[in-house]
Amino acid sequence: MFGRNKGGAATGSAGATVIAAGARFKGELQVEGDLEVRGQINGTIQLIGGVLRIMQGGSVEGEVSAPHVIINGLLEGTCTSAEVEILESGKMQGIFKGGSLSICKGGNFVGQSQPTVAGKADPVLQALSENSSSGSKQPENKSNVKKLPHEPKGKPTEELAKQA
């Protein structure tokens, strides 16, 4: 069921690199393919062309960069990914930078989501956040507004006061 790949890391039956339950890893981890975390990782994970699975009971603290992340344990830190799924027992605390974030019933996300388009921050969202933080308003575009003639309806207030 478990074997060793050429690099010496333990692999699951599907060829995933596994950080076993009870194992603790601290530092920078670069993996080509899938990574399954059942233990604890504190540091940076860079996954190339695979899926990061944080299993129930597993935890990651630090920075994560992966094409696809599935969380059923705990992720604390910054996660950059095209797709993140938080499952029923999953919890993410921190910053999500990426395309799609889905949270199943029972899953928990506490933090900030920063959508990206093709690896860059969405310019519309970035402009909105800059405007709201600076407190300045942009001038309104009124070029397509049709002006109607002003027609008073009824007598002015002064005339009504004289009549009373």
Within 10 angstroms of residue 58's Cβ, the number of other Cβ atoms is 23
CA dist., res. 114 & res. 42, Å (int): 23
Q: How does residue 41 score in pLDDT terms, banded at 50, 70 and 90? A: very high
Q: Is 155 helix (H, G, I), strand (E, B) or coil?
A: coil
């009549």: which residue's tokens?
Answer: 163
The pTM of the full predicted model, rounded to 2 decimals, is 0.65
Q: How does residue 96 score in pLDDT terms, banded at 50, 70 and 90? A: very high
Q: Is the pLDDT of residue 136 over 50?
A: no
147 vs 108, more confident: 108
Q: Is the pLDDT of residue 14 over 90?
A: no
The residue-averaged pLDDT of 148-159 equals: 56
Within 10 angstroms of residue 93's Cβ, the number of other Cβ atoms is 13
Residue-level pLDDT at 133: 41
With 0-12 / 13-18 / 19 or more C-beta atoms within 10 angstroms meaning exposed / middle / buried, residue 107 is: middle
Instruction: Give me the chain's average pLDDT, please.
Output: 78
Residue-level pLDDT at 118: 55
CA dist., res. 164 & res. 162, Å (int): 6
The residue-averaged pLDDT of 139-162 equals: 55
With 0-12 / 13-18 / 19 or more C-beta atoms within 10 angstroms meaning exposed / middle / buried, residue 130 is: exposed
Q: Is the pLDDT of residue 141 over 90?
A: no
Please, are residues 36 and 17 in contact by the beta-carbon 8 Å criterion?
yes
Please, are residues 72 and 55 in contact by the beta-carbon 8 Å criterion?
yes
